[in-house]
Structure 1
Amino acid sequence: MFRSMLKGKSRYWINILLCLFIGRGEAAGVVAIRPAAELLVVPIETALEGGLAIDWPQIERLYDKQRHRFIWHHEGELTEQGRQLFRWLANAELDGLNADDYHLDHLRGLVFDPSPEVMVNRELLLSDGYLRLARDLRLGRYDAQSLDPFWMFPNESFDPVDALSSALSAGALEQLLNALRPNNSAYLQLKDALAKYRDIQAKGGWLTLHLDDSLRLGDSDPAVALLRQRLQGESSRTGEMIPDPNYFDTTLAKAVKRFQRRLGLVPDGIVGSATLRALNDPVETRIAQIRANLERWRWLPHELEPQHLMVNTAGFEISLMNRDQVLFHKRTVNGRQERQTPSFSSKVTHLVMNPLWTVPRSIAVQDILPQLQQDNEYLARKQIRVYERSEGEWGEIDPVGIDWANYHENNFPFVLRQDAGNSNSLGRIKFHMPNAHQIYLHDTPARGLFERPNRAYSSGCVRVEAADQLAQLLVEYAEQPQNVWLQQALRSGETQMAPLAKPMPVYLTYFTSWVDAAGDIHFRPDIYQRDTALMLVMGEGIEHVTAHYESRAENPSL
């Protein structure tokens, strides 16, 4: 059966060649060129038997659209567009992809061979390589939701055959392939970062530090000179002449703080255990992180809205973007491990001043009920009211007579609602954004959490630092004369809600590596362990994944 399938596919290509040699209308005249055609059967079958996976239905569609003409060859030689495509396949590694996924290992041996049978194989492999590369650049190499169950963005459609047909007619293959990448500078900057770290890898990586004790400003130790060497091995900044390389001076302290900020550590300028582990992560781990995050960019919608909010849950940050310009950038608090914040898109449609908080049932029974069973004053202190359904309607009841010990997760009949005010869990502002996950952005009374490196403390929603500033910017974006209303509504203490004339798109993402506005490359711990499966399927060694995860496992500050 397999042999007959090979024969069938080979015959399809032979028929294409017959059409090319003698014209489609004369294809019945097989006898005239049978010797040439028969020569082609062997190399095609050999390629297939070698384990090459070819997308035959798409190949057939592609050549049907091209009227069974060669696409990448003219008079037996590669065309300029054929050479362009070969270069793109060979350089797929620059985008964090694997060039061998696009038949590069086979194409290298065929690229200069002029024989007709090799030309057919080359044409076939180039076309299939294009189909694969185009899909991977445009949609991502791997299926997002099978690797990350919290990735909730809808799948986009893309037809590489139609895209190529249009590009070929305009002689615009290069422009097409460039346009398939994510259309933003963040992706390109991360792509440049990958090249930088691969260059560091090619030069042998960086040294591993072994310290008996922490290092800090004022220390004098031979290990300080090694620390300087390690930091310079990752920095593009030229090292300065140092009078005493073994002395930990203010310049080195600033360099350590910059490294700590890039790694999401407390920027105290002290090389303690957490900073040492981050310094000793191998360059291969950094490369694996960058590749994983380039793939996540390809998973996102190809065309992001020009103005949007970008929430990075792995980085605990939010940015208001106007194309590639950052208008607002602050810290966030998001879901803890057992209540992870998912990745999805929505729009902020309303601002709610002094919001009430209707406690989700999961939080009521899992978090608050145990408190009620231990503390009779909890409800009064938190200004939480209790509601119960009676005769088809919800009404407030006095909680004093309730014996909370009689209730558990399966028989809890109440609804809890927290009054507006300074102690409300949503703070003074809620950014309402319709979605199926019951996730939204909001202020918080617990502003001290923003100072912590690891800010995974919420039940899934995203707490925003300087929420009043963000609300002001959204009103300005919507071109609404509500500046006075915002302040009056906040001061009133009453719950007030107003729609935005222009809803603001929001993308909740998960990036453990990115390049900031100053050009610094950041890396973060994989707080939700979403990198691991992606790194492994991308072919990264288990030792790199393990280093990325275990280097943080014992760090209580993360």
Structure 2
Amino acid sequence: MKLLVGKFLAGATTLTIAGGIAFAAQAQESAPENLIPGEQSQSAAPKSFDAAFPDMVSEPMVQGDLVAKIVPLVQPWSVRNAQSLAAVIDGIGAEGLDPKDYDLAALRTAIASGPSQELDELASRSFGWLVEDLRDGRTPMDARKQWFVVDRDRDVLRTGDLLTQALESGDIAGTLAQLTPAHPDYAQLKAALAKTQDPAKRKLIRANMDRWRWLERDLGSQYLITNVPEYQLRLTVNDKIISTYRTIVGKPGRTATPQLAETVEGVIFNPTWTVPQSIVKGEGLGAKVLNNPGWAKAAGYKATKGENGWITVVQQPGPANSLGRMKLDMPNPHAIFLHDTPSRGLFNQDDRALSHGCIRTERALELAITMAILGKGATKEEAVEVATSGEYTRVPIVKEMPVYITYFTVATDINGKLATFKDIYGRDEPVLASLDQPRVSNRANETDEEVIVIEDDLRTS
């Protein structure tokens, strides 16, 4: 639940939020314009602890049956709790993070002086930074190239709530540990980091550990996940791989496959393909279809010409259809989806970065039937019937089925062994460079990078 707050005014002592909620604040001109309950915006680096952490009164906000509290981000720390926090920071290298990012020396100095406001502020700030990096990832958004996944963990695992939990329980390490990615691949990377001494290899492992933190901690009970540089797709149920499929992904450059987290809403058997205008007009396909009806029928093309002269070409279902015999309906602004292809021999190539962005999948009909059954949209018999009917049929996915399009250059392969994959899109460099820079505050959880709508020119490859 998000709450939008108006701009702080210099010298103001309170802010009234819609609904009559107010909290005290030592407001500064440089303070943020927006706050989320339980979160501290870090859009400007304050020059004092008071400016960094204004005291906030915990008052409930009621919207219907929902109640959310504004939780203070600076809370009292005992020496014992602060020592536990210092121990976590000292060992945070095991998670691929750097202890120097969390002001450990200053924290230890404050601990030696005993309980104080300075200790409360330092410890609360370091704890908040750890939460942010463990939950959301350390890499700033501008270093995550073509990353369009929205991580909702910050809305569920709020910093203020976690701080309260940690201090009330006294289990600082356990509270922070619940933020680390639950996927078994992250554990494999962590184990490899512990065994690796080579600085370059350690850095690459750390970068890929952080990529797991960019995703939501809970990926769901059943989902599809594809690692683009590996050219593999996995169907996973309860963290167990049910089946794997080789893939063909986007060519490097403008048609590189972006990183997405979407939801499959349906399986389309025997799809039609509306040909992009870059082919209809740009390559003259429209005129060819209209002028050669025999050829067009054999290829499955139907063309219509409007009064304004605009030609639309749709390829009908059939063995020559460029989408093959199925596509997964997963609406997204990039027009990216998973589908079959009639050019199945391409799956035998080692380098399969060949498409214009969409992901082509081997054994696609098997995948489609399995998806229809798991999604409870059809029985096995029904799915086989529509798949072999030759007619366009959309089977809805009733049970949620996320699909994650990821990019890991060090990851567990389909045989369960850690492997390194070619950085086909050059996305490692900015992530690796960010590890050498001081941690960045005020990291947005959504990118403002350009959304490239892919017109998948399937006919030419």
TM-score using structure 1 length: 0.60
Farther off after superposition, 334-343 or 363-372: 363-372
1:297 to partner: Cα distance: 1.0
C-alpha separation between the residues in 1 aligned to 2:134 and 2:278?
40
CA RMSD of aligned residues (A): 3.3
Cα distance change on mapping 1:492 and 1:58 into 2, 3 Å: same
Matched, 1:436 2:333: yes
Matched residue, 2:123: 126
Q: Distance in 2 between matches of 1:141 and 1:435?
A: 26
SS at 1:454 equivalent: coil
CA distance in 1, matches of 2:278, 2:400: 29
Over 3 Å counting, the alpha-carbon distance change for 1:316 and 1:446 in structure 2 is same
1:387 maps to 2:383: no
**TM-superposition CA deviations, 1:12-46 (whole Å, max 9, x none):** xxxxxxxxxxxxxxxxxxxxxxxxxxxxxxxxxxx
The 5-angstrom pairing of residues 186-197 of structure 1 reads 186-197=185-196
Distance in 1 between residues matched to 2:48 and 2:305, nearest whole Å: 62
Q: 1:370: how far off?
A: 12
CA deviation profile, 1:480-514 (whole Å, cap 9, x unmatched) = 55322332333332222221232421111111111
Residue 175 of structure 2: aligned partner: 176
Aligned amino acid, residue 432 of structure 2:
M
Letter aligned with residue 436 of structure 2: G
Matched residue, 1:238: none
| Residues 1:456 and 1:381: Cα distance change in structure 2 (over 3 Å) | farther
Q: Paired residue for 1:153?
A: 149
Contact 1:317–1:330 (CA under 8 A) maintained in structure 2: yes
Q: Is the 8 A contact 1:371 1:378 kept in 2?
A: no
Residue 493 (structure 1) aligns with? 390
**Stretch moving more, 52-61 or 380-389:** 52-61
- CA drift of 1:327 comes to 0.9
2:234 is aligned with what amino acid?
S
- 1:349 counterpart (249, 261, 265): 265
2:372 and 2:396 in contact (8 A); partners too: no
For 1:409-488, what aligned pairs fall within 5 Å after superposition? 413-488=310-385
Give the CA deviation at 1:368.
6.9
Q: C-alpha separation between the residues in 1 aligned to 2:434 and 2:374?
A: 41
Identity of aligned residues (%): 31
Structure 2 counterpart of 1:290, which letter?
A: I
Q: 1:368 to 1:167 in 2, by over 3 A?
A: farther
Aligned to 2:212: 297
- Does structure 1 conserve the Cα–Cα contact (< 8 Å) formed by 2:72 and 2:160? no
Question: Which has the larger Rg?
Answer: 1
Q: Which runs of 5+ in 1 are unaligned?
A: 1-50, 74-78, 202-283, 392-411, 541-558
Match of 1:167 in 2: 166
Q: Which residue matches 2:243?
A: 328
Any stretches of 5+ residues in structure 2 without a counterpart? 1-44, 59-70, 438-461
Partner SS state of residue 492, structure 1? coil
Structure 2 distance, partners of 1:95, 1:495, is 49
Q: 1:107 offset after TM fit, Å?
A: 4.5
Q: Aligned equivalents of 1:97 and 1:368: distance in 2?
A: 54
Q: Name the CA distance, whole Å, in 2 between partners of 1:152 and 1:133.
A: 23
Residues 490-499 or 352-361, more deviating: 490-499
| Aligned-partner Cα distance in 2 for 1:484–1:292 | 45
- Return the offset for 1:286: 2.8
Shift of 1:122: 5.3
**Contact kept in structure 2, 1:54 and 1:128, CA below 8 Å:** no
CA distance 1:120–1:310, change in 2 (3 Å):
same
- 1:237 corresponds to: none
Specify which structure has the higher proportion of helix.
Answer: 1
Alignment correspondent of 2:441:
none
Q: CA deviation at 1:164?
A: 0.8
Does the 8 A contact of 2:224 with 2:234 survive in 1?
A: yes
Alignment of 1:244-393 (within 5 A): 284-337=199-252, 338-362=254-278, 364=280, 382-390=299-307
SS class of match (1:180): coil
Structure 2: distance between partners of 1:459 and 1:448: 18
- Correspondence for 1:275: none
> Is the Cα contact below 8 Å between 2:286 and 2:303 reproduced in 1?
no
Amino acid at match of 1:388: K
SS for the counterpart of 1:340 is coil
Determine the C-alpha separation between the residues in 2 that align with 1:352 and 1:115: 67
Answer whether contact 2:204 2:432 (CA < 8 A) is retained.
yes
- Identify which of 70, 78, 86 aligns with 1:72: 78
User: Structure 1 counterpart of 2:122, which letter?
Assistant: L
- 1:173: how far off? 2.1
Q: Distance in 2 between matches of 1:67 and 1:140?
A: 20
- Is the 8 Å Cα contact of residues 317 and 331 (structure 1) preserved in structure 2? yes
Pairwise CA distance, 1:467: 1.2
The letter for the 1-side match of 2:98 is N
